[in-house]
Structure 1
């Protein structure tokens, strides 16, 4: 098995509303079959899928899916990019969970939640500079 994530799927209740949120961040949809909304990322895809259908695909009741303790991180090239991205997320309907600020390990981060509660970190990690195409590696390129 290769070390990669190909597709991140979010089970969502309001497909159009959540899609509009990500579009307000500047992301563009790609064509997909009915029932799926997808945004190609660098090296993977974020898919939005109705929560009930996701539970049905997995073979579990919706209530058993729970909420995982996880975040998705969007890394930027400079610390000055963090706060404006948080503001953009808030303007699109997200909730700021932690404003931009310095962290103990030397980075600069903030957190927001999309309208259905998916948590995103916006981070500048000076020890992991992004590749020319925006790709991230733990120790940089």
Structure 2
């Protein structure tokens, strides 16, 4: 197995509400199969899929899927971009879980919960500068 993630699928309870949230953040969907909403990212795709269908596809009850035990991270170029991104997410309908703040390892982060229940971390990591196109890797681009 190659070391990569191709598709991140979020099981969401309300497809229209989830799509409206990401579109309010400025994301643009791409054509996808019926019943799926897809957003191409840098090297991956984020897919929205009905929660019940995701559970059915896995052969599990919805209650067994859990929720919130992981985060999706959005890294930014500058420290002040953390608060700006959190503000944009809140304006689009997110709930701020933790406002922008410095952390022990030298970064600056904050958290929000999207209307679909998914939790996002917004982070500035001075040790992992983004590529010009916004690509992230742990060791940075410079």
- What TM-score do you get using the length of structure 2 for normalisation? 0.96
- Per the TM alignment, residue 61 of structure 1 is displaced from its structure 2 partner at its CA by 1.2
- Contact in 1 for aligned 2:108/2:123 (Cα 8 Å): yes
Shift of 1:68: 4.8
Mind listing any 5+ residue stretches in structure 2 that lack a counterpart?
A: none
Structure 1 SS opposite 2:3: coil
For residue 116 of structure 1, report the CA deviation from its aligned partner: 2.3
Distance in 2, matches of 1:40 and 1:8, equals 10
Between the aligned partners of 2:64 and 2:39, the Cα distance in structure 1 is: 27
User: How far apart are the structure 1 equivalents of 2:117 and 2:34?
Assistant: 24
Number of aligned residues: 141
Q: Is the 8 A contact 2:101 2:108 kept in 1?
A: yes
Could you list the structure 1 runs, at least 4 aligned residues long, displaced by more than 6 angstroms after superposition.
Answer: none
* Structure 2: distance between partners of 1:37 and 1:64: 23
Structure 2 residue 139 is the aligned partner of structure 1 residue 139? yes
TM-score when normalising by structure 1: 0.97
